Structure 1
Amino acid sequence: MEPKRPSIPLQVQAFRRRRWRMRWLWVVAAGLGALLLIWLGSRSPGEPMQQAPAPVVAAQVAGPPWQIGNPEGHFTLTLYADLECPFCREYFPLLKRWVGDNADVTLQWHHLPLPAHEPAASIEARLAECAAESGGHAAFWHAVEWVYAHTRSDGQGVPDGVRYPESTPAVEQCMASERPDAVIRAQAVEATKGGVTATPSLRLQDRQTGQAILLQGPIEGDALLSAMDMLAAEDSVAPPTTEMPADVVGDMPR
């Protein structure tokens, strides 16, 4: 008959179970620590720790002047225009199409609201500037096209009740401020000092030489190409700015 084993007190049994659980936890922690050391050792010495992506900050809209066409083009063509000018309204889509067909030209807008067309001309110019303040260059030209499509011209403005469909709270806030007025006034003063008194007028500048030609009146595409050739000629002796009336260079067909 085997001798009877002494019974282990309950307190001792509980103590042994706690010790076993503690050992198991230490084993798991040691294993995780070893895996972490192996992962860190496998990284390149200069490899940075992954971080949460930085928040995207919207780039500020560049402008005015607002441009369309090739921004790196050889020539810059400045259009001095009034949004209530009926001749500008007829000429603008033709000029825009011509610029789109000539990769060496960028077109930029220059406000010149005429006193006879006020206050509608400045109100519409403010709308275009405020649209561009929020949406950039494309928004500016879209607003210009919308105004020319809806205005009655000659200072009559857009019919009552017709609202710009792309208006937003930001555009309306801009319209209530004085920001667009400062731009419009500055451009009008600059145009007058530069000898521009009528709309539409064009200033064609060779960006490489700095020479420019002021063209008064709606100018046809072939005449613009001739002016570009003249500015680009190596033996050109034209002064920095030359004024050429429309009847010399050529009129845009009506």
Structure 2
Amino acid sequence: MRPSSWHSHTTRRYLWPLMAGIAALVIVLAWSLARAPRIDSPMVDEMSAAAGPPWRYGRLDARFTLIEYADLECPYCQAYFPELKRWIDANPDVNWQWHHLPLPMHEPAATQGARLAECAGEIGGRTAFWTTVAWIYQHSRGDGRGLPPGAQPPGTTPALQACLASTRPDAVIAAQAEEAAQAGIAATPTLRVIDNRSGRSLLLPGAVEGDALLSALDLLASSHDEAMTADPVPE
């Protein structure tokens, strides 16, 4: 089996010249890690994790979880979505968790898109959720302009229409937006990378490139390994 990009990156990282941009990022990451509190690990058993919300893409038992705080009308999120999906597909040690954060400047279209994605997930599970998010980004005009008139999302059924007519998706979206606000997150995309072994996390602003994400994984993993080495061995 071909090793994941994270393991390959870890093996080769000491052989590559350290670029100035990556060095600066690592300094920022180290500062963030030193300040980041432990948070509860999002790992849960396979059966319960198969449902949502929150919705996850990738291996449910992955060591790392990348939470993306995103707005379905945000043009930066829209451009970043396929890039981040390719990166997750290439790194099975990481799964991707969606966190709704509709921005006021993009309302009401941002929440309308979020409601559609949540109802698709409620009816069809996590595959339907991620398929609908991808469809919205492919068809939305972005910047709060929403879907074009007549756009018909995949899997439109009476059950989906009934969900959209209810308040169930609103409760999910409001709870996630409030959680982001409590964490001081007000821009999209924003990423939180979590090491599920240690519970340590890093908060990264913007559409972070793949190499920088790999550096974040390395930093979290090395921090955990150093902590394990420092712990006394029980007799």
- Tell me the TM-score normalized by structure 2: 0.74
Asked if residue 127 in structure 1 is aligned to residue 79 in structure 2, the reply is no
Aligned to 1:241: none
Secondary structure of residue in 1 paired with 2:144: coil
Q: Is residue 132–residue 154 contact of structure 2 (8 Å, CA) maintained in 1?
A: no
Q: Deviations over 1:102-130 (max 9, x none)?
A: 01001010000000000000001000000
Aligned-CA RMSD value: 1.5
Query: Which amino acid in 2 is paired with 1:211?
Result: R
Aligned to 2:43: none
Q: What runs of 5+ residues in structure 1 fail to find an aligned partner?
A: 1-58, 237-254
Aligned to 1:221: 210
Secondary structure of residue in 1 paired with 2:226: coil
* Alpha-carbon distance in structure 2 between the residues aligned to 1:216 and 1:100: 21
* Cα deviation, residue 194, structure 1: 1.1
Query: Which amino acid in 2 is paired with 1:97?
Result: R
1:21-36 equivalent positions in 2, closer than 5 A: none
Aligned to 2:162: 173
Identity %: 58
Aligned to 2:192: 203
Aligned to 1:235: 226
Aligned to 1:104: 93
* Alpha-carbon distance in structure 2 between the residues aligned to 1:128 and 1:115: 18
Aligned to 1:84: 73
Aligned to 1:43: none
* Alpha-carbon distance in structure 2 between the residues aligned to 1:73 and 1:175: 32
Report how many residues are paired.
179
Q: What runs of 5+ residues in structure 2 fail to find an aligned partner?
A: 1-46, 228-235
Kindly report structure 1 stretches of 4+ aligned residues shifted beyond 3 Å: none
* Cα deviation, residue 165, structure 1: 3.1
* Cα deviation, residue 235, structure 1: 2.5
Q: Deviations over 1:118-162 (max 9, x none)?
A: 000000100000000011000000000110011000000001111
- Tell me the TM-score normalized by structure 1: 0.68
Considering Cα pairs closer than 8 Å and 6+ residues apart, tell me whether 1 or 2 has the greater RCO: 2
Query: Which amino acid in 2 is paired with 1:166?
Result: G
Task: Select the structure of larger CA radius of gyration.
Answer: 1
